[in-house]
Structure 1
Amino acid sequence: MASGDDDDPIIEEIDVYLAKSLAEKLYLLQYPVRPSTMTYDDVSLLAAKIKPKQQRVELQVAMDTKSPNYCSSKGEQIALNVDGTGYEENNTYSVKMMDNQIFSSIQATTNTSRYAAAVFRKGELHMTPLTGILQMRPSFAYLDKADNKTREREAANEAGDSSQDEGEDEAKAISVRFARPESEQARQRRIQSYEFLQKKQAEEPWIHLQYHGVHDGRSEHERQYLFCQHVDASDNSELVKTPTEYLTMLMPPLAEEKVVKPIGPSNVLSMAQLRTLPLGEQIRTLMKNVKVIQFASLMGLLASGTDATAVLRCIQQVALLVQGNWVVKSDVLYPKNTCSPHSGVPADVLCRGRDFVMWRFTLERSLMRKEVAAVIKLPPEDVKDFLEQVAVPRVNRGWEFLLPSDPDFVKKHADVAHRQHMLWLGIQSKLEKVFNFSKDDFVPKKAPQSASAEPVHISGEQRLKLAHERAQEKQASLQKDLEAKRAGGVRVKQEPLSDGEAEPMDTSSPPASRSGVHNGSLNGYAGAERANGGSPANAPSPQLLDFVTKTFGKNPVLTLNELKRLFSLHLAAMPAGHIPFGPVSDHMLQDAVLLSRCRQIMVPFPALTAASADEQKVFGLWETGEDIDKHRHLLYEMFTKTYGVKRSAVQARLGEELGDVAKADVDRLLKECCSSHAGMWYLKGTIQS
């Protein structure tokens, strides 16, 4: 005996028997929607039936309508929708209440040759091969029946209305058509279609079964068949295979299937083979494989010296322009007389659905799959296939177009872009008729800016510098007014707002809470302050600076919209007749923020965010004299590069720059500056809960 066997001695030898009495009749039923502790052993089972060839089982289980967890009104409503008000023999619910539930099976696996049920008794292991493994899930066929009832009622009402309007029946011409002989290719498509498979499944009749409970005498009798009935000692044989041969029997090697490569340019070809084709076929082959490409990249794949004009002429025959990029046409991917490999949907229906997806991408960068599916009403597999061809999924942003916009191509080839725009208008008109929608239904909440109108971002340091310059200019103007007054003439005027400044915020309160105070008195107060040598007309007052400083002391991160709201609440809480502020514009409020040791954080909001312009202006407290200032600076820097961050990323960034940072400090930083949503952290006010 080898030395290794001494460490692992044989404790017991068990005889294994193969029981064949139930070999063709034994099914394993699983209930994945309920935990193992909630069995159906004590539930009353009303009926059972099976389709052996398809291995489909249906069980009708009684529901406890007396349970406190059962909603009687809802059960009665469902029964009314399904069966109506009449009493018929074929009613789904005989007591006018949903008192039973159907469980329908699906196959967990199609190959059960490696699975068996085993029982152990008196040192013997008896195994019976499984015929099928089925997962029982609740069936909602009663909802389909309720929908059919609704359609029947609507059809009956329409028929009644039309019969009243019509007079005598008129003779109508009948056209007779003769079907063409079915080709072999068409027959194969029909056999593989979803409709044909459903029809074949419906042809097999149900076999009704009699159910016996776990503790029933018949069940005990049937369980005896799990044991081998005839044990013949002469049939017992020892295993004479070597360990290697035994393992090969248990796990045979997978046979490699020979894949025959298709002949023709539709398959991925080498560049040498591709360039032997005519230019039009080259472009068609490339577009069928890449689906979406920029024009510059397409020219790079073609032979050097290829005429760009000829390429443009050919590309327009097989592709459409979307955001300056070329996307292959739907009829190139789905030719006539073909169908979806996923669902069997005809090619013309697929083309309409895919054209809708491409048209939506001409309007916006990202789409939500649910919105698309709700309009085109195609199977989820086909909708996902459309999106995967031209887009990539983004967290919390749906599906984003695969390539960035190419405004350079649109500028350089304005005639081609205009022609493509007219084509899209025609496609849009057809889609509106087919899917019954209006373009206004899909106008983005925030229209994309043109390529020439680049957004201008002003940093906190620039705004601070502009605020100082504006204050100095106003101070110089005020000094001239005071000198004129000393010379003998009273020259006090209110400076008009320049074109670049926003209208002042209305800081006056409603008459009910501010008796005797109105805009005229506020303007007079501001004019008197300027005349007496106070602050410049548009410079933040000390009271406003004090309010901003205290506010950011409590809330280190605020959007402009939230700051304006807090400012309005502050005004409403002040005593009547005591308002130390003149007209306060948005610019004045922002200048006060930047003069209060705060800075603006340029957060890269998503393209289709619903946040307003004021909500996208985010300010953060910069200096307080505490050690946590350095933590905030690094956090703000992270949010200038991304819209949301994970806690682990913040911890890693702080540890990289500042060494070991305590967990309590990270928690305090995130709690003061951020809010959490779906496992991500966002600056306060930048995400709507």
Structure 2
Amino acid sequence: MANEEDDPIIQEIDVYLAKSLSEKLYLFQYPIRPASMAYDDVTHLSAKIKPKQQKVELELAIDTLNPNYCRSKGEQIALNVDGACANETSTYSSKLMDKQTFCSSQTTSNISRYAAAIYRKGELHLTPLHGILQLRPSFSYLDKADAKHREREAANEAGDSSQDEAEEDVKQITVRFSRPESEQARQRRVQSYEFLQKRQAEEHWVHLHHYGLRDSHSEHERQYLFSQGHGMAGNTELVKSPSEYLMMLVPPRVEEEKEKPVAPSNVLPMAQLRTLPLTDQIKILLKNVKVIPFANLMSLLTSGTDPTTVLRCVQQVALLVQGNWVVKSDVLYPKGTSSPHSGVPADMLCRGRDFVMWKFTQDRWVVRKEVGAATKLGPEDVKDFLEHMSVLRIKRGWEFMLPYDEDFVRKHPDVVQRQQMLWMGIQAKLEKVYNLPREQMVPKKQAPQTAAPLLVSGEQRVSLAKGRVKQSYSQLEQELQKRRSEAQAGGADSPVDVLGVQIKEEPLSDEEAMDTSVCDSLSNGLTNGIHSEENSVDSLNGHLGGQERVSQELRAFVAATFKKQFVLTLRELKRLFNLHVASLPPGNLLFSGISDKTLQDVAFDVGCRQIMVPFPPQTAALPDEQKVFALWEAGDAHDQHRQILLDVFSKNYRVRRNIIQNRLAREFGEDVDKQEVDKVLKDCCVSQGGMWYLKGTVQQQPS
């Protein structure tokens, strides 16, 4: 600050606001004319204006005596425009192109920031501009010449053929009644080019008289650029606060935002979309795409969004059709709206569209005529329904646009069953409203390549469940028989020895829930007569064998996960485990439920250690969520580097890179390779704000 030079005030100038011409002052610009070649000395023949549209036309004389003027070309243009016979209505009465027309266009809609300034005797007077117009030459005379040419050709071709006709031909007239115009159709019509041209033509021209730059009348009008009342005492005081005065000088861009072209309602940037609540995000996406698989929907949402929450939200605005989500009809046709084609109210449109959706739950194909005959709606409305969710195939009908999503149906059987119940209710309602015969409500037999229908009867579900139970018991029986044969060869004499499992009597903790699903399934199978020849000892052995397989699968998952991630919080481990379970086929033993304590024990069993990271006191995460586990020995050349890195993080939850590199250099010498440091940091840490954190201990900022 001491080195800065003083900036003294040289002069103070009073600024006045003149308003006498504020509603009449325009700035004319000639963008295709050099500034050195002004039109001040050119003769202005006429001038006219449309005040509301701020449209101006000027007629300027052309110097036909100038040596650069081509007289032959001027005569040819006048002949083409007016013809051989010139009269008072001719464009060029002198039979020579001796004038040109300039038409204006607006440069900007917001001219509140612009003013004309004039300086006199130490005073600056400002007059706000009413408009800024750019004037360019108009070539409308070419259109007139072209019209004359077409008229002459038409006259020559017609000849005298019209005299031979005794009477005019009788033409058939078709009378059509206009449909009620919807709000959307009205907005499209108002924004159309034809409507704007018609509205511009409705305003009449106001003819003006042009005065030259040095005319006495112009000099008199220029006096209005000075403030007329600046000598009054009431105008010399500034009664506004500095903030109000600044707001007056630089007003907010309200008018510009209003004048911007209105974007379609279905266009929304993804960055702006992700700032909305999750329910609104899903509603907007479904409303635009109409049909979407669940995996694609998850990819459009913010990374890390909970799939369970998405499932809960998507069921509020969409229905499941062939494993894909289709937006509900009342979202597209809210109450109070009507069809833009036929004017049918929204409730009838919703019922018709629900009928089309229900037909696609029964079959891959739908015939448009059948839908129209059942719903009694117009062909355009039915076509809209079908285009929302299907594709037209020539000579076959309308096919659902997406393949059957077997992956979603397999992973989320509870959601599928809930949607089946909803469709049963919709089916009963449609049957009552449209008086459909019973045979139409029975699903058609689908082709072999088409996936199974979503509507499954109770008897089918029971039979499928029995088949799965029998298959599970068969696998358990084979495993038990194999263990018995091995035990007999080795000399084991007890069921516990056969399975190789040690049973410890430990009290259950509050956080560890007792898993009874396997026992319940076994007991249910015995009471229902399935494998009734097995005794209670065999049932216990089968249960213990199932637990062993659960332990093996869980241990393999945890070991593979830590081999890939190296460092995980308990929360992240649980999330990865839930995703792994969701990808498994139904009936897998891992569906029985795994507690947090079991996951921790398995992590310790595969060689992990808990890193006691000293989180700051204001951390909002729960204590269990702050548990950090790291693979202590991965069996590669970087184990010792990772162990030193983890020891550094046991003293602080965030560390700079130079501290880590100095610690590694001190332990292993000065020749620690930078690539090795990068490898260890990439395995265990994430970088944010110039600091390094263990994975999962800091929330990642969106990129």
TM-score surpassing 0.5? Answer: no
Question: TM-score if structure 2 supplies the norm length?
Answer: 0.37
- Bigger CA radius of gyration: 2
